[in-house]
Amino acid sequence: MKNATSETTKTLADCIRATKCRKGPAVGTTKNGAFWLAAEPIYIRHTGGDGIGNNGADRKYSLELRHYRDDKVRCAVHLEATHQNGDWGGAGDWWNTVGPLGDCRTAEEMQVVLLGFQMDSEHVYSSCFADEIERLAEMLGLPVSMPAPDEEAINA
């Protein structure tokens, strides 16, 4: 687990571009164009019922780091809701872009942004998935956090 320095300027968007993931066929296409994934999507929240009978839909949120053909980077949250009764039971797929996520410089900053983001009036991130965010950030070259404020003052 590495920490950043105050001079860390690399953002999540920079790290996504550095993966050079735009090879082979595109993973998907949206109204923004074709995109590739910089890493495998990770789950960031699991909620709802068991998706059976009168129980609520099983709702899983995942984070996708997308690099588009036009060099734009978008971080998207995918909500996959499943229920044996299909749409009537609340099943479906939804995606939403989390704009500020690309500006994050640490896993901690990513968690703060995700904790404040909602889809359909529901939070998309649970801190019990913090390890997943930290592993993803470190794999891409981002530190877990900045130094603690009092540690910087001591070392100055």
Q: DSSP characters for 76-91? A: EEEEEEE-TTGGGGT-
Contacts of 10 (CB under 8 A, 6+ apart): 105, 141, 142
Average pLDDT over every residue of 91-102 = 93
Average pLDDT over every residue of 52-56 = 82
What pLDDT is recorded for position 124? 96
What pLDDT is recorded for position 41? 97
What pLDDT is recorded for position 75? 98
pTM higher than 0.95, yes or no? no
Q: Return mean pLDDT, the chain.
A: 90
pLDDT band of 1, cuts 50, 70, 90: low
Average pLDDT over every residue of 104-126 = 95
For the record, the structure tokens of 54 come out as 């009168």
- Are 97 and 64 in contact by the 8 Å Cβ rule? The answer is no
Contacts of 96 (CB under 8 A, 6+ apart): 76, 77, 79, 117, 119, 124
pLDDT in tens, 63-95: 999 999 999 999 999 999 998 888 777 888 999
What pLDDT is recorded for position 4? 60
What pLDDT is recorded for position 46? 94
Q: Is the pLDDT of residue 138 over 90?
A: yes
Q: Is the pLDDT of residue 150 over 80?
A: yes
pLDDT band of 154, cuts 50, 70, 90: low
